[in-house]
Structure 1
Amino acid sequence: MSSTNNAPGAHTFQVDLRGLVDLLSHHLYSSPRVYLRELMQNAVDAISARQALDPAAPATITIKAGAEFSVTDSGVGLSEADVHTFLATIGRSSKRTADGGLDGSGLAQARGDFIGQFGIGLLACFVVADEITVVSRSAKTPDAPVIEWRGGSDGRYTITTLPASAKPEPGTTVTLRPRADAAEWTTPGRVLELARHYGSLLRHQVTVVDGGGVEIPVNPSPAPWAASHGSPLARREALTAYCRSTFDFTPLDSIELDLPLVGLRGVAYVLPDAVPPSRQAGHRVHLKGMLVSDTAPELLPDWAFFVRCVVDADSLRPTASREGLYADETLAAVRDALGARIRDWLTGLSASDPALLHRFIGAHHLAVKSLARHDDELLRMLLPWLPFETTDGNVTLDEFARAHPVVLVARTVEEFRQVAPIAAAAGLGVVNGGYTYDRDLVHRLPEIRPGSSVADLDPGTVTAHLDAVSPDAELAAAAFLAVAREVVGRFDCDVVLRTFHPASAPALLLDNREARHERNRAQLADEADGLWADILGSLRSEVPRAQLVLNHLNPLVRRAAGIGHRELAVTAVEALYGQALLLTRRPLKSSESALLNRSFISLLDHAMLGHESAAPHEES
């Protein structure tokens, strides 16, 4: 199809209709199943247009499944001019003005009444069939003729005028005979499934007629938030039942959503179990009752991953394929408003239902912590309720701060594991800040609880709370300590002798991530050469070495301090260092693993030699 403009050098595009139909019908949509949604959507728009002319007009959609599939609506119908303009022109909007006329330029104006665009939507039928038949009678004039349009996937179409008996009442019937490779999509069972999936919230009566002529209603009752209920309890039970049937879980609570400015109503269901924040949300979005998306992650802020929504809106815009939402200012405003509604529910729980709040936080404390970092109101309301891992166990931050005027925060889980037993015995209050958001939130505690003091934990802080040994004990262990410093010095570690509880702990390794990074950098610098070695050397910084703290209260350490045999002393130090390494629960380097194996074998060897020397000799 082409033509030439009268202006010199001006030409029109050459359009291959078969190729365009193939492109739109096979690549615009994600699955063949959308053909039924597009036909139902066109039917709904036609009914809306007729009710604009006559509010008392019937509003029915009948879907006949089987080898010959059809969708019949009681809508406004099409005249012959309409058929030429909108069924034969791809991309032209079939929106109608208030008086029932077709308005090809008023897409934005008509969006409040209609869902889609007939000219493109009809192409979805070519996914399952090679020919579409449309029989329509306009409601605009009493004696309007019945028009039959037959269109093929090759881009050709015919128009025929039929006798009035072919369609006595206004409306449209779209008929198609599926190809053999797509017949499964028009079977009665599949059609009923798809009709319920897409049209369960439609505001017009939708019926599926199976092969035996049995009529099955698709949407016999309105959405639970739009229906009348006998009591608040009955309403809550209806909302919960809808969640179970739609999402297959029983919610912790139901948050009703209502944004009149965009005609949005629905429910946000609070998940009963924790989910990873990275899991894609499964929100169901309906536009004027028609399901557009059953994922729609853009509907809510990222932090609200603990709810699943089902909403029906009037003013959101679908994408060209009607399988998602168009990202515009309206969607952004809706997202912010829905986020505010969920936040209000969350902050109100502390006063209205503390028991529910505890259950919610038990399942979704990560989500709350994520939100509280950027929401001062929520932080003040919920920070006292949030659980943290501490040296006093899993307790709320408010409870922990009452017991410890100075709250120390370990930067990593490894550091917390290192010091927790010793710090608890020494009366230090340490919070594990290694989990997501925890360190940031703990440092904001003084904003919520004036007078509280928060500081990052430093290994030196723990060392300062360990008791020094007497000079005599230090002198008696001097030879062993010298061997120990020589052995662990190879790992950039110092050795000190202290007393601390619990006495069952023979040794404690105090280290931090920055110190380990510095040692790794120095090792790389030593092994590198040329420019890379100079670069790594320029990054050198003074970082405290790790400390192996030996517990003089431990009987094993006291016996080791008196060892006079150098080889056995070396083995004892390696074993103590290896055990302290294991208690940190961090990955071991190859040299550290070799040390553990060597110390185990050496100790086993010493034990066996000692047993043999102590055994009595047999008489000859």
Structure 2
Amino acid sequence: MSNAAEKPVENHVFEADVARLLHLMVHSVYSDKDVFLRELISNAADACEKLRYEAISAPELLSDDPAPRITLTVDADSNTLVLEDNGIGMSRDDMVEALGTIARSGTRAFMERVEAAKAGDGTQLIGQFGVGFYSAFMVADKVDVISRRAGSGHAWLWSSDGKGSYTVSEADLAQAPARGTRITLHLMDDAKSYTSKWSVQKIVKDQSGHVPVPIDLIEKPGAEAERIGDGTALWTKSRSDITKEEYADFYRGVSGQYDEPALTVHFRAEGRHEYTGLAFVPESKPLDMFDPSAKGRMKLYVKRVFITDDAELLPRYLRFVRGLVDTSDLPLNVSREMIQESPILAAIRKGLTNRVLTAIEKLADSDKDAFAKLWEAFGAVLKEGIYDDFERRSQLIALSRFRTTTSDEATRSLADYVKDMKDAQAAIYYLTGDNLDRLKASPQLEGFRARGIEVLLLTDSVDSFWVTAAPDFEGKPFKSITQGAADLTQVPKADGEAPAAPETTEAVTDFIAFAKTTLGDAVSDVRASDRLTESAVCLVAPEQGYDRQLEKLLQGSGRLDMIAKPILEINPGHGLISALASGGNTEFRTDAVQLLLDQARVLDGDKPQDPRAFAERLSRLFERALKG
């Protein structure tokens, strides 16, 4: 470049306020400085694409160097980063037009030419706004550009510190590329990391590893070039051309996991919006799947250039899905915040979500064992969608699988449940809790089990919420067996015994009245139960409000100040109740009633409300029994 300085130098003033533009890029257009390399690589890829297009009618432009390439050279000694391409290059007028005018994109002008000539088939250009090049000034206090247009006998040097002016002069051909453009960034002191081979390689692979031009990296001047981008993108290939092993390798790279993908969804959407989606459902749970702050891990590309991994391409209940979307409908040079508000992104999100759920549905129909493993890993998260996603609620409910009182260790769909419902059964019954074994031993199940009525056993936290959002399935409402009356008198028992209301003697009726008076405000009611067949007592929630488990969750999370007073149900046919109803003094019966309430609390997974009083009552009963 020293020889070029002896040639006449033209001084120019930028046609826009560069300082204001750089401030805009730092604070609005770009979220981090690393994107400058993405922008320069995108411009270089466009230059190679332009040459490919013009060489269709003028093949001599390729001379003896037909293969496009981009080369990066880092030099820690001189604190520079050099990017060179062998694309179309620029003439003097091109330089003044493209680099001297902020936001006037040569790419846009070229596209207009292509469209005017109606010869744009296959031409894919990345940059569209003309501000990408100036992102270099976020990391460099001086930028030199030497360019030689294909087929030209002259080369030109453009140089600027980005503060308001630039120079253009003719460059020595001996120091210019044979064709294309070389950009030298004289890095700021706080940007020395961009002279590290590993830093640059990581940025390129993360953000530009799939541009359609091979990318080489030279660790220092004179060293051998190492290829870090092969110019191909897996997702642009036909599915029939990609092996299972290639999909698995790509999945591991994009997800950072080491398992196999349980499900691969690869498609190209055409129509109003065109984009390619490649999504993977992992085989095992990601470590952050239940992190409240965890977001999706789908990457967004625009024309094979990485934009962000922070775009909401899938709803939260599909946050375990890994992969990417590549579209040409979104602009490249916009902030991530603007992308999130884009109606185009909303359309892509809807289409991608539908594709993923449809693929999961197909797996459920075609491979029940594989789907069972998928559901075991991600069912708890998918059920969040029943609560959150009204549009797809029916689809997600039908997709869901549940353990029930009749399924043993397997799971069943609601369609299976409804098909096997009893003739007089009017609702889909469920029981929620945090432990499957405890649910199976719940006294509230006894009457249902005696009548052969299947009950869903729901152990995920979200289960207590989605059942309140889902009004019904195939016309059958959901009903908690721990809330309100059981209404089992219309269903005959499994042994064929005719349905009947529980028999309650006068003595038991009097005992129930005594218990209600004794317990007072501790419960909202005491009544005979038709759901108990083996246990003496149980607790249920009132008909209105929340069921027992949901109340506990809401109170535990601080969203409910007070829980409703429970109903104590008493089994009128139990031997203990008959014995208590038939005798004993008032003091003894009072202790017995309080202990029955504490027993019901323990069976419900709670502890006695007053442990000391519980112990004292139990001691008095032991003393009475020992005295005979």
Which TM-score bucket, shorter chain as reference? 0.7 to 0.9
- Any idea what SS the aligned residue of 1:64 has? strand
- Structure-to-structure mapping, 1:309-388, within 5 angstroms: 309-321=323-335, 325=339, 328=342, 330-365=344-379, 370=385, 374=391, 378=395, 383=398, 386-388=400-402
Contact 1:25 1:126 in 2 (8 A): no
TM norm structure 2? 0.75
Work out which of the two has the higher radius of gyration on C-alpha atoms and give 1 or 2.
Answer: 1
Q: 1:259 maps to what in 2?
A: 269
Amino acid at match of 2:363: L
Q: 1:548 maps to what in 2?
A: 568
Structure-2 separation of matches of 1:227 and 1:200: 15
CA offsets 1:208-243 (integer angstroms, 9 cap, x no match): 0112612111223633344589x87x7122111210
Change (3 A) 1:114 1:453: closer
- Stretch of structure 1 that moved more, 74-83 or 341-350: 341-350
Change (3 A) 1:183 1:324: farther
Return the offset for 1:40.
0.7
Residue 82, structure 1, aligned to residue 111, structure 2: no
Q: 1:138 maps to what in 2?
A: 149
Residue 566, structure 1, aligned to residue 586, structure 2: yes
Structure 1, unaligned stretches of length 5 or more?
1-13, 447-451, 518-543, 615-620
Match of 1:195 among 183, 199, 204: 204
Match of 2:156 among 147, 152, 155: 147
Structure-1 separation of matches of 2:523 and 2:75: 79
Change (3 A) 1:155 1:601: farther
Amino acid at match of 1:489: G
Q: 2:39 maps to what in 1?
A: 38
Q: 1:292 maps to what in 2?
A: 307
Q: 1:127 maps to what in 2?
A: 138
Contact 1:53 1:100 in 2 (8 A): no
Contact 2:404 2:454 in 1 (8 A): yes
Residue 493, structure 1, aligned to residue 524, structure 2: yes
Return the offset for 1:501.
5.0
Return the offset for 1:292.
1.7
Match of 1:236 among 244, 257, 280: 244
Q: 1:506 maps to what in 2?
A: 536
Return the offset for 1:424.
2.1
TM norm structure 1? 0.75
Contact 1:269 1:309 in 2 (8 A): yes
Contact 2:536 2:577 in 1 (8 A): yes
Residue 598, structure 1, aligned to residue 607, structure 2: no
RMSD, matched Cα = 4.2
Amino acid at match of 2:210: L
Return the offset for 1:309.
2.5
Return the offset for 1:131.
1.1
Residue 424, structure 1, aligned to residue 449, structure 2: yes
Structure-1 separation of matches of 2:344 and 2:525: 62
CA offsets 1:440-467 (integer angstroms, 9 cap, x no match): 6682235xxxxx7977766333474785
Structure-1 separation of matches of 2:338 and 2:123: 18
- Structure-to-structure mapping, 1:427-506, within 5 angstroms: 427-431=452-456, 434-438=463-467, 443-446=472-475, 459-462=484-487, 464=489, 468-469=502-503, 471=505, 474-475=506-507, 477=508, 480-497=511-528, 502-503=533-534, 505-506=535-536
Structure-1 separation of matches of 2:277 and 2:531: 60
- Any idea what SS the aligned residue of 1:48 has? helix
Structure-2 separation of matches of 1:147 and 1:102: 26
Structure-2 separation of matches of 1:340 and 1:500: 42
Structure-2 separation of matches of 1:281 and 1:80: 46
Amino acid at match of 2:580: A
CA offsets 1:346-387 (integer angstroms, 9 cap, x no match): 3433443333333333334456654796459957xx83x632
Match of 2:74 among 52, 55, 65: 65
Return the offset for 1:571.
1.4
Contact 1:97 1:110 in 2 (8 A): no
Q: 2:494 maps to what in 1?
A: none
Structure-2 separation of matches of 1:386 and 1:99: 49
Return the offset for 1:119.
4.0
Residue 167, structure 1, aligned to residue 176, structure 2: yes
- Any idea what SS the aligned residue of 1:184 has? helix
Structure-1 separation of matches of 2:111 and 2:252: 43
Return the offset for 1:576.
0.6
Amino acid at match of 2:304: G
CA offsets 1:313-371 (integer angstroms, 9 cap, x no match): 33332352479747555444444443443344234334433333333333344566547
Structure-1 separation of matches of 2:517 and 2:394: 55
Change (3 A) 1:21 1:184: same
Contact 1:21 1:154 in 2 (8 A): no
Amino acid at match of 2:228: V
Structure-1 separation of matches of 2:213 and 2:572: 83
Structure-1 separation of matches of 2:373 and 2:527: 46
Structure-1 separation of matches of 2:605 and 2:379: 25
- Structure-to-structure mapping, 1:269-284, within 5 angstroms: 269-273=280-284, 275=289, 279-284=294-299
Residue 156, structure 1, aligned to residue 165, structure 2: yes
Amino acid at match of 1:86: A
Amino acid at match of 1:284: K
CA offsets 1:30-59 (integer angstroms, 9 cap, x no match): 222222112111111222222222245342
Residue 176, structure 1, aligned to residue 151, structure 2: no
Residue 246, structure 1, aligned to residue 254, structure 2: yes
- Any idea what SS the aligned residue of 1:165 has? helix
Structure-1 separation of matches of 2:123 and 2:340: 15
Change (3 A) 1:113 1:397: closer
- Stretch of structure 1 that moved more, 164-173 or 403-412: 403-412
Amino acid at match of 2:172: P
Contact 2:254 2:323 in 1 (8 A): no
- Any idea what SS the aligned residue of 1:358 has? helix
Return the offset for 1:175.
0.5
Change (3 A) 1:442 1:278: farther
Contact 1:128 1:178 in 2 (8 A): yes
Amino acid at match of 1:129: A
Return the offset for 1:423.
2.7
Structure-1 separation of matches of 2:426 and 2:382: 21
Q: Which has the higher contact order (CA 8 A, sep 6+)?
A: 2
Q: 2:577 maps to what in 1?
A: 557
Q: Percent identity, aligned pairs only?
A: 23
- Stretch of structure 1 that moved more, 412-421 or 211-220: 412-421
Structure-1 separation of matches of 2:134 and 2:97: 15
Residue 401, structure 1, aligned to residue 418, structure 2: yes
